Amino acid sequence: MSWYRNAVWFVKGLREYTRGGYESASRHFNPADVEVDVAGRSFLVTGANSGIGKATAKEIARRGGTVHLVCRNKERAEVAKEEIVTETGNQNIFLHIVDISNPKEIWKFAEKFQNEHKLNVLINNAGCMVNNRELTEDGLERNFATNTLGTYIMTTALLPLLEKAADARVITVSSGGMLVQKLNISDLQSGNGPFDGTMVYAQNKRQQVVLTEQWAKAHRNVHFSVMHPGWADTPAVRSSMPDFYERMKNSLRTEAQGADTVLWLAVSAEATKLPSGLFFQDRQPVRTHLPLAYTHSPPEDEEKLMQMLEEFSQKFKSVSPG
């Protein structure tokens, strides 16, 4: 059935995930939802130096929010910060250099951040798709380290700060690719069998959906959501999926279109009227499994994922300096 699921996902994606899908969906948007003033609220965006992260940060800055850009590359991040300040006139833009694939760095950053700042909204946008199996300096498979463990540690490390805030939210940028993956907790670091970077990425994105659902159950004072931005023309897509980009480049969404639902989830009052823990596309909650797909997991597997990630995270926290 895997070929069938892939085919269904691709056909569905051609229709809904492209620029045309966004244009069709956006006819039903209420512009007033995002025409809000968020001055005095603090937002943290990971992977904010390009693509959907930068587009999101820029739109929040236009609305007066204090924006913390968490980026890996200092040079590119400084250029992005300058662009955001110049285009929006908002001076409350702060830059933090953190490698989300490095769990020790995340713990160190989060500890310092909690002592110096407040936080209302966390946007987990940083991600990667490495097409060959590659290990970090900590011996972690890089996709898992960035997309899953990095997201887990950043969120759990900042939850104490978020739980003190008014109208606290966590938004994670996932992918429709997760629809072709069933949660697999037996090989989190993709060390068994042939390595397919696209499918590893999709598995990580399935894990992010499970994380969001589990966090929503455990932390009632914070509104959690996860979303699919559609197929957008971003530097990450161009570098990680060059063949896909060449085939689809005339139909891809703009970065701003890809970021629209992130912005809506981050600033609108309408978003938090919906239950915590849902998966969104174009401002609407959508199903997390295709019809008739064999991608559902038993609850014990989802709970086991949380337990395994907590064990990973604590291991790196114990050796974190400071």
pLDDT digits (tens, 9 = 90+) for 91-114: 999 999 999 999 999 999 999 999
**14-18, 36-40, 279-283: range with lowest mean pLDDT:** 14-18
User: Residue 322: inside a domain, yes or no?
Assistant: no
Structural domains in the chain (count): 1
b (16+ CB within 10 A) / e for 39-67: eebbbbbbbbbbbbbbbbbbbbbebbbbb
User: Residue 159: inside a domain, yes or no?
Assistant: yes
Domain around 23:
3-315
Tokens encoding 241: 């999926």
pLDDT digits (tens, 9 = 90+) for 180-209: 899 999 999 999 999 999 999 999 999 999
* CATH number of residue 264's parent domain: 3.40.50.720
Tokens encoding 138: 């900590």
Angstrom distances, CA of residue 109 to CA of 46, 81, 156, 189, 322: 12, 19, 13, 24, 10
Catalytic residue, from 17, 22, 152, 201: name it.
201
Cβ-proximal residues to 218 (8 Å cutoff; 6+ apart), any chain: none
Does 17 participate in catalysis according to the annotation? no
* Cα gap 18→220, rounded to integer Å: 34
* Cα gap 139→191, rounded to integer Å: 12
User: Residue 241: inside a domain, yes or no?
Assistant: yes
